[in-house]
Amino acid sequence: MLSRSGVPTKKQLEAVKPAPERLAQGPVVIVECFQEIPCDPCYTSCKSGCFLPFEDINDLPRMDLDQCNGCGTCIGACPGLAIFMVDETYSETEALVTIPWEFRPLPVEGSEVTGLDREGKALIPVTVRKVRPSARKNGAYLLTLVVPKEYAFEVRSIKN
């Protein structure tokens, strides 16, 4: 249970997983936000209309994922670092997974690191494709990792 373990349940994660048709179109955000807290910068930061207006600031975010253009702005705006991006169109066998990262040293582009799951357990080696600063230019970075497709919804952190 999320409130005991700090880790979202399978059911919660299923609810925010985009439909296969959308995943087949290109990069799309995965918003792993499951608790009603007063917070709405995902909505205010999005320029493509993917996030719908909040009626009450405590609402969970609602998305129209067809509007998501994969820009990643919301990943750097989310104070909970709860937004990730998956691009299943990268290759036949691999997906790109983009995660927020606020640690040093930064991994080197092209290097191999260990992909970790939501409990920090080592899963598989992944390659760091891109390291870019968050649009907010506040010390956070977005790491884009090349991940075997079957792990695209498991890898959410790395060991550098």
**E strand or H helix at 44, and its extent?**
helix 41-45
Nearest-approach distance from CB 147 to other proteins, in angstroms: 14
Interatomic CA distance for residues 76 and 37, integer angstroms: 18
Bridge pairing between strands 83-87 and 28-31: antiparallel
Of residues 20 and 105, the one with the C-beta less far from other proteins: 105
Would you give the end-to-end CA distance of the chain in angstroms?
28
Nearest-approach distance from CB 154 to other proteins, in angstroms: 11
Of residues 4 and 10, the one with the C-beta less far from other proteins: 4
Contacting residues toward other proteins, per CB under 8 A: 2-8, 32-41, 44-45, 56-58, 77-82, 102-105, 116-121, 136, 138-139, 156-157, 159
Of residues 19 and 122, the one with the C-beta less far from other proteins: 122
Instruction: Give me the amino acid identity at 147.
Output: V
Nearest-approach distance from CB 75 to other proteins, in angstroms: 11
